[in-house]
């Protein structure tokens, strides 16, 4: 018996990066020896200011939080220079993405996205009975001409990810503007989850110019708070107000609000994290150039990159398993990203020692 709507007949779920403990038990390796390079987490851990603020907020757990997370909206407004009412805050950016699809595309409505892309765009669209329109990338980078051409008058939501996931590639401000201007009747969602690692301020300033643009960011990456669940969107009020109506009312708890407010002041943590990622990214580019069975997809400005398996006698799943046995967790493109076949793996940039573990393990594969 199927009581759920037809879009949920064979539901597909997100494939997360593997946890350290699982790999440790299955392969008999000490957890501290495992290089966890599959979930784009912060190698320096959580923002210390956020940890202190979360601890101090524990005595407020009996109180309902502000349903709009008002203290966090005010802090975001002071930090990024818009009005508090122009922000929507969610339990991770993921929740904001789900709310956008629900609020801006009707059942059967078209939701455009690159292929491959962050899987939650199409997973949520399909779970809500909306229709993903996937536009192929070229060498894993957004094909702006093809993307603009695919936007039609009945497209409701258009996703852009910059830096892109899974490749980390970058689009220019001119190209971002072209896409926003090509879709005046749609909401363009610019997902800047990894913007810190690009060492640019990103394109948040475009919100002041375009009434059909929302920019999304997360506290899960550079702030190191993936386990706390905080993300936000900024746009004009006619975009934000419907989102407030569809979001689960008290979606942000006291700890998330307190942690988010404090993290926004933790520029030391951000600076340290970005410095490590940028250093290790340059390092792994040069080290991978020495291997001839693998190639890095060039141009990543994120804290991860794609490896292409050049050796025709193996595939991404065999490489994934071989790396796990050697204590290195990455993501197998074949199961993690729609539109990737069996030639790619997504690998995080982390500490240099973990980059060495990765290269040694790749070189050791049969």
Ligand X SMILES: *Cc1c(COP(=O)(O)O)cnc(C)c1O
From the number of C-beta atoms within 10 Å of its C-beta (0-12, 13-18, 19+), residue 268 rates as: exposed
CA distances from 272 to 42, 231, 308, 356 (A): 11, 21, 29, 20
Residues 147-186 that bind ligand X (CB under 6 A): 161, 165
Under rule CB under 6 A, residue 218 binds ligand X:
yes
| Closest CB 164 distance from ligand X, rounded Å | 8
- For residue 30, count other CB atoms closer than 10 A to its CB: 9
Q: How far is the CB of 149 from ligand X (least distance, A)?
A: 23
Would you say 231 or 327 has its CB closer to ligand X?
231
Is 347 exposed, middle or buried, given 0-12, 13-18 or 19+ CB atoms closer than 10 A?
Answer: buried
Answer for which of 77, 182, 204, 226 binds ligand X (CB under 6 A) is 226
Helical pair 254-263 and 48-56, crossing angle rounded to 10 deg: 150
Site string for ligand X, 96-125 (x = CB under 6 A): ----------------------x-------
Shortest spacing between CB 231 and ligand X, in angstroms: 4
Residues 287-326 that bind ligand X (CB under 6 A): none
Q: Minimum distance between the CB of residue 214 and ligand X, rounded to whole angstroms?
A: 13
Tell the residue number behind the tokens 């292409």, with chain if given: 308
- 56, β-bridge pairs: none
The reply on whether position 350 binds ligand X by CB under 6 A is no
Residue closest to ligand X, measured at CB: 92
Do 348 and 41 touch, CB atoms closer than 8 A?
yes
Please report how close the Cβ of residue 75 comes to ligand X at its closest, in angstroms: 17
User: In the bound complex, what is the minimum distance in angstroms from residue 48's beta carbon to ligand X?
Assistant: 20
Which residues, 6+ apart, have CB-to-CB distance to 62 below 8 Å? none
Of 86, 94, 212, 256, the one binding ligand X by CB under 6 A: 94
Q: Say if residue 216 is preceded by a cis peptide, omega within 30 of 0.
A: no
Kindly indicate which of the ranges 87-95, 207-215, 238-246, 275-283 contains the residues binding ligand X, using the contact rule CB under 6 A.
87-95
Task: Please state the φ and ψ torsions of residue 209, each to the nearest 5 degrees.
Answer: -100, -30
Question: Cis peptide leading into 282, omega within 30 of 0?
Answer: no
Binding track over 34-63 against ligand X, x by CB under 6 A: ------x-----------------------
Kindly state the smallest distance separating residue 364's Cβ from ligand X, in Å.
Answer: 29
Q: Enumerate binding residues for ligand X (CB under 6 A).
A: 40, 92-94, 118, 161, 165, 191, 193, 218, 220, 226, 231
């Amino acid at each position: 018996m199927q009581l759920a709507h037809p879009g949920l007949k064979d539901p597909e779920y997100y494939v997360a990066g593997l946890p350290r403990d699982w790999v440790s038990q299955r392969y008999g390796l000490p957890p501290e020896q495992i290089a966890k390079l599959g979930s784009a987490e912060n190698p320096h851990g959580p923002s210390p200011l956020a940890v202190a603020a979360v601890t101090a907020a524990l005595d407020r757990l009996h109180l309902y939080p502000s349903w709009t997370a008002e203290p966090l909206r005010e802090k975001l407004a002071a930090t990024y220079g818009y009005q508090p009412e122009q922000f929507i805050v969610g339990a991770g950016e993921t929740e904001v993405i789900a709310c956008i699809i629900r609020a801006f595309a009707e059942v059967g409505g078209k939701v455009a996205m690159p292929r491959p892309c962050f899987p939650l765009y199409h997973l949520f669209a399909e779970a809500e009975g909306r229709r993903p329109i996937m536009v192929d990338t070229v060498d894993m980078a957004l094909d702006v001409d093809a993307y603009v051409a695919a936007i039609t008058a009945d497209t409701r939501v258009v996703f852009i990810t910059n830096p892109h996931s899974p490749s980390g590639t970058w689009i220019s401000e001119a190209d971002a503007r072209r896409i926003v201007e090509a879709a005046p009747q749609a909401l363009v969602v610019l997902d800047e989850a990894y913007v810190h690692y690009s060492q640019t301020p990103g394109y948040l300033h475009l919100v002041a110019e375009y009434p059909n643009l929302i920019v999304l960011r997360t506290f899960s990456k550079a702030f190191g708070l993936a386990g706390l669940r905080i993300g936000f969107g900024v746009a004009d009020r006619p975009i934000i107000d419907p989102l407030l109506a569809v979001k689960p009312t008290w979606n942000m708890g006291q700890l998330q609000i307190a942690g988010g407010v404090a993290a926004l002041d933790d520029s030391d943590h951000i600076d340290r994290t970005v410095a490590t990622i940028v250093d290790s990214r340059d390092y792994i580019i040069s080290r991978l150039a020495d291997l001839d069975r693998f190639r890095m997809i060039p141009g990543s400005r994120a804290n991860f990159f794609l490896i292409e398996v050049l050796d025709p006698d193996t595939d991404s799943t065999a490489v994934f398993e071989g790396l796990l046995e050697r204590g290195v967790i990455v993501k197998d493109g074949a199961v993690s990203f729609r539109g990737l076949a069996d030639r790619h793996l997504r690998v995080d940039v982390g500490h240099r020692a973990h980059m060495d573990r990765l290269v040694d393990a790749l070189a050791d594969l049969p």
